[in-house]
A and B are shown apart, each in its own frame.
Chain A
């Protein structure tokens, strides 16, 4: 079923046994300079959040009780109906452009937003909502909403823009926002605030993504309760291909970056996780680190993902995250690569690959160290010719032989 803006349908009638639905977001073109953030607002019948805990976004990825979960790649929300508090009457799904106003961006730069409502990623969706975004001057978009009606759950396609970005949108739904990165004065390279994700009911919520600006700057993610949940490390970059003009066509080629890491566990075991040599690791078994499938076609718009089982962080001593240009000329300056580290209910960390060196194939991005159970993240951005030199610089002590991915 294709939905048009304003149209609704009953999920309960469509799939009566469904204990949950997924709302998966996608957009065209897949390659875009826009940094899109998804969020969900769990609202009461009054159209407001009960408290800031009902605002699910990159810095707070689950609703207490597990009724709403935002996937690590930020593109899918899982809604478990039975786990939702009775007071939650409506769940609004929105997309916003990170710092869109400050950067002069809008949804006009996309051609289409697409939302799939499905009970199972493997099955065909219950409904698809495609929205043409040409001509939309907004930086926030309400995609749709799930709502209770007469004992059923229904979904309505909304597709309406909202003036202002994530901050004003969150405030409209009653979230107490402490900062708005879109309207704040330009970022200062000062040390990031050391207080991640304040307790939602007492302090205003922070929208800020913490950017580690300088080499060597670091932040510590403090352990709360059982563990950290699943850390998702994403490397995304401009993959080139559509250079303008004669020289553009000559020089602009697809750039394939590979994400990987060196690790050392508490028990002394050490190794590498990377597509090279098919060392993809494992989340449930040591080293509790897994590289998600390598997409050599470059078609994956989200870049590459490395996951760390944060509930096993006590087994891990340290992890050095790196990027590697396997084929072609090392051309870091054209990649405009960005690393994000997402940890459930912790601030999102961003590290940009700067101070490029186009004579080296490898770049050490970040070091994650276990410090008294906390995760200390340090920006590295140091370039190396190969794995061996990188290993030597950080002292993992591995033995290296040449390998191939193919």
Chain B
């Protein structure tokens, strides 16, 4: 049973998913049935050191850079419309192979060109982001974007972070002004 997250809720993976080794961050939404520009939601991951910044731009995993240098974080690719069953985009994280100097991995979801297209999560059909244990296919946490973040256009979904030798998940669920560009700057990406 997936945990329905509240903003800022912390989740001990050792408690909720003690055997989580491979985490899948899944992002899904329905293709647009109505007129207008398609809804294009993007999932991204930032690999962060203990200063809360990336080591280099190579630590930003997104639609134009699908794999981290060591291969421990992998993006399945950009889905431009939300067509298809199940998760439309996914980022797979092999927690056992994440470099030791990476302390935190932040996951974000943004609407591509949200301002120009005047779109928000609430206008997208059935939009969600979730954490799944990739080995057991068990859902660990989920955030229903269309429902609970309906007026937002960008969100820090959550963070996987190291704590006393284990990985934990912090369900941030925080709307974010400025979209992907602003998020990149905050995490130390040169844009």
Question: Which residues from chain B contact A8 at a C-beta distance below 8 Å?
Answer: 122, 147, 150
Q: Which residue of chain B has its CB nearest to the CB of A138? A: B35
Q: Which residue of chain A has its CB nearest to the CB of B125? A: A47
Question: Which residues from chain B contact A142 at a C-beta distance below 8 Å?
Answer: 34
Given A149-B147, A156-B150, does the pair A6, B121 have CB atoms closer than 8 Å?
Answer: yes
Cβ of B151 to closest chain A Cβ, rounded Å: 5
A149, A157, A160: the one within 8 Å of B36 (CB):
A160
A158 within 8 A of B: yes
Contact between A6 and B36 (Cβ–Cβ < 8 Å)? Answer: no
Q: How many A-B contacts if CB must be within 8 Å?
A: 44
Contact between A6 and B35 (Cβ–Cβ < 8 Å)? Answer: no
> 1/0 per residue B120-153: CB within 8 Å of A?
1111100000000000000000000011001100
Question: Which residues from chain A contact B122 at a C-beta distance below 8 Å?
Answer: 5-8, 156-157
Cβ of B1 to closest chain A Cβ, rounded Å: 15
> 1/0 per residue A162-182: CB within 8 Å of B?
110000000010000000000
A4 within 8 A of B: yes
Q: Give residues of chain A (150-207) contacting chain B, Cβ–Cβ below 8 Å.
A: 156-163, 172
Cβ of A241 to closest chain B Cβ, rounded Å: 33
Cβ of B117 to closest chain A Cβ, rounded Å: 12
Q: Which residue of chain B has its CB nearest to the CB of A5? A: B123
B34, B146, B150: the one within 8 Å of A160 (CB):
B34
Contact between B150 and A161 (Cβ–Cβ < 8 Å)? Answer: no
Cβ of B40 to closest chain A Cβ, rounded Å: 16
Q: Which residue of chain A has its CB nearest to the CB of B123? A: A6
Question: Which residues from chain A contact B121 at a C-beta distance below 8 Å?
Answer: 6
Question: Which residues from chain A contact B100 at a C-beta distance below 8 Å?
Answer: none
B33 within 8 A of A: yes
Identify the B interface with A (CB < 8 A): 33-36, 118-124, 146-147, 150-151
Please name 22 pairs of A and B residues whose Cβ atoms are closer than 8 Å in the assembled complex, sorted by A.
A4-B120, A4-B151, A5-B120, A5-B122, A5-B123, A6-B119, A6-B122, A6-B123, A6-B124, A6-B146, A6-B150, A7-B122, A137-B35, A156-B122, A157-B122, A159-B123, A160-B35, A161-B34, A161-B35, A162-B33, A162-B35, A163-B35
Identify the A interface with B (CB < 8 A): 4-8, 137-138, 142, 149, 156-163, 172
